[in-house]
């Protein structure tokens, strides 16, 4: 595996943020299961910032793979805002910004991935602590997915358990044939203030479609 190239920023929160005891993720799991997380992950998902404040993570893409079907799926997903990675370059910078949204009680996520040629890809989504599992991610144009979290091998794992389309007050569950398949995001601590963020999409018929893995460190303001 290629060596990780992560900017060496101090892993400290911005001085103008207000850190509170945030149990929103913790409350989705039994205390015993949450207690199996490494301390660094526990802290990372227990920080609540003041409304509008942002924490920024900077890193490098180490792995990016697509099947042929996965590549076409990522391109087609641009019609709903491009929620999936579209490039297979590695060794390029990636930045993730998480902003507290008091109006919804959730978080706004912005992911920026550089390209050696052209403009970076920017992916927007919003997490809400609602829905059948207590956690949903909205990816754009009324499309959302319910997420279930678990602790596996000392990593925090997010898995999709269903997709919905919302039109006004109506929520319509999407049949599997109209979804990309099962999405899994794994957050693994690497020590020294760094962590690995891995996204994988597997379709029941077409198999593994997309896999992207990057290593991050929290940036100072």
CATH number of the domain that residue 113 is part of: 2.40.128.20
Overall pTM surpassing 0.85 (yes/no): yes
Q: Is residue 187 included in any domain, yes or no?
A: yes
Computed over every residue of the chain, the mean pLDDT equals 90
Please state the rounded mean pLDDT for residues 161-177. 92
State the pLDDT at residue 221. 54
Q: Is residue 15 included in any domain, yes or no?
A: no
Unique residue bearing structure tokens 């996204």: 199
Q: Is residue 12 included in any domain, yes or no?
A: no
Q: Is residue 4 included in any domain, yes or no?
A: no
Q: Is residue 210 included in any domain, yes or no?
A: yes
Residue ranges making up the domain that contains 77: 21-218
pLDDT tops 70 at residue 175: yes
User: How many whole angstroms separate alpha carbon 23 and alpha carbon 46?
Assistant: 6
| Span between the terminal Cα atoms of the chain, in Å | 30
pLDDT tops 80 at residue 129: yes
Please state the rounded mean pLDDT for residues 55-81. 95
Looking at the 3D structure of the chain, how many domains does it have?
1
User: How many whole angstroms separate alpha carbon 97 and alpha carbon 55?
Assistant: 6
Please state the rounded mean pLDDT for residues 184-197. 97
Q: What angle do CA 126, 131, 78 make, to 5 degrees?
A: 40
7 pLDDT band, cuts 50/70/90, is: very low
State the pLDDT at residue 40. 95
Considering only 3-17, 23-37, 119-133, 176-190, which range has the smallest mean pLDDT?
Answer: 3-17
């Amino acid at each position: 595996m290629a060596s990780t190239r992560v900017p060496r920023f101090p892993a400290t929160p911005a001085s103008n943020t207000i850190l509170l005891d945030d149990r929103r993720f913790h409350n989705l799991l039994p205390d015993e299961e949450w207690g199996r997380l490494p301390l660094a992950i526990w802290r990372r998902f227990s920080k609540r910032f003041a409304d509008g404040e942002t924490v920024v993570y900077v890193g490098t893409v180490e792995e990016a793979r697509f099947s042929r079907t996965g590549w076409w799926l990522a391109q087609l997903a641009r019609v709903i805002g491009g929620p999936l990675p579209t490039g297979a370059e590695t060794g390029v910078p990636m930045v993730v910004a998480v902003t507290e949204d008091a109006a919804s009680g959730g978080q706004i996520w912005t992911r920026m991935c550089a390209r050696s040629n052209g403009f970076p890809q920017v992916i927007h989504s919003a997490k809400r602590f609602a829905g059948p599992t207590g956690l949903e991610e909205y990816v754009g144009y009324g499309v959302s997915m319910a997420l279930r979290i678990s602790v596996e091998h000392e990593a925090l794992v997010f898995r999709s358990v269903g997709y919905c389309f919302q039109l006004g007050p109506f929520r319509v569950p999407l049949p599997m044939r109209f979804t990309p398949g099962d999405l899994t995001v794994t957050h693994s601590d690497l020590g020294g203030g760094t962590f690995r963020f891995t996204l994988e999409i597997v379709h029941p018929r077409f198999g593994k479609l997309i896999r992207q893995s990057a290593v991050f460190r929290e940036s100072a303001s």
